[in-house]
Amino acid sequence: MYSNGYIFRYAAIMVIIAAALLSTAAMLLKPFQERNVAIDKMGGILASAHIPDVTASNSIKLFNEFVTEEIVLDQNGEVVESYTEANKENAKAFSLDMKAELYKKSQGKPFELPLYVINKNGQSLYVIPVRGVGLWGPIWGNIALSSDLNTIVGVTFDHKGETPGLGAEISTAAFEDQFIGKTIFDNQGQFTSIMVIKGGIGKLPEDKRIHGVDAISGGTITSNGVNDMLKDVLETYLPYLQKHR
């Protein structure tokens, strides 16, 4: 029969071996995990501009083909870096963490923002990443603006844990397609963002409906999260948008 000391030493050795194996596995898998995150990020950017036939296997190729410029902006809307070389995933803009940068903004600290320029059929589209909070966790996405820096040509949204059939509907075509053709400035050039309206845009005056979409039925908190996310993030890009419209 084994002594208590032997059992303790055996258990301790097994814990150390298991920890070492898990640590090694995590280190070996990290490059693959980071690559998958990058591919998913590229796919979302391309999808917002309706680049066709994007898959996990061709995202990097299409990203480098369609993205002509990656821009880093400061809080004043000035261009800090413009990257037009090959291997766009190596650009500073692509590595910026929106969560961290928006947190810096909330703390009144200097921050930077990424902006992606896509050439599609000879037209320049400008893709703005967005990030916010839903009912159960973070929500995020991309908004593609036409060359007028006003009209939305497409969006993508995703989430970490919104309720299936309710808040999770933000990532469906039925919700996302509503944004196409909407504008974020009114005829006087005033910023309006896009309003996500509970009960539908029929509640808005007719001349305001170009700035609104229907909220998700039963997903009020997530819809409000999208509404706040769009307003907060697009406002952050206003210095650049207003200078270049």
pLDDT tens digit string along 62-119?
999 999 999 999 999 999 999 999 888 899 999 999 999 999 999 999 999 999 999 9
Measured CA to CA, the distance from residue 220 to residue 166 in angstroms comes to 9
Measured CA to CA, the distance from residue 99 to residue 133 in angstroms comes to 11
Give backbone dihedrals phi and psi of 159, rounded to 5 degrees, phi first.
-155, 165
Single-letter code of the amino acid located at 219 = G
Measured CA to CA, the distance from residue 127 to residue 68 in angstroms comes to 12
Q: Which residues on neighbouring strands pair with residue 120, listed in sequence order?
A: 123
Tens-level pLDDT at each residue, the chain (245 residues): 566 666 667 677 777 776 666 666 556 645 556 677 799 999 999 999 999 999 999 999 999 999 999 999 999 999 999 999 988 889 999 999 999 999 999 999 999 999 999 999 999 999 999 999 999 999 999 999 999 999 999 999 999 899 999 999 999 999 999 999 999 999 999 999 999 999 999 999 999 999 999 999 999 999 999 999 999 999 999 999 999 98
Measured CA to CA, the distance from residue 101 to residue 113 in angstroms comes to 7
DSSP letter assigned to residue 52: T
Six token digits for residue 88: 């766009």
Q: Is residue 116 a contact partner of residue 41, using CB atoms and an 8 Å limit?
A: no
Measured CA to CA, the distance from residue 149 to residue 171 in angstroms comes to 23
Reported pTM: 0.86
Sheet holding 123-133, edge to edge: 79-83, 67-74, 112-120, 123-133, 138-145, 152-159
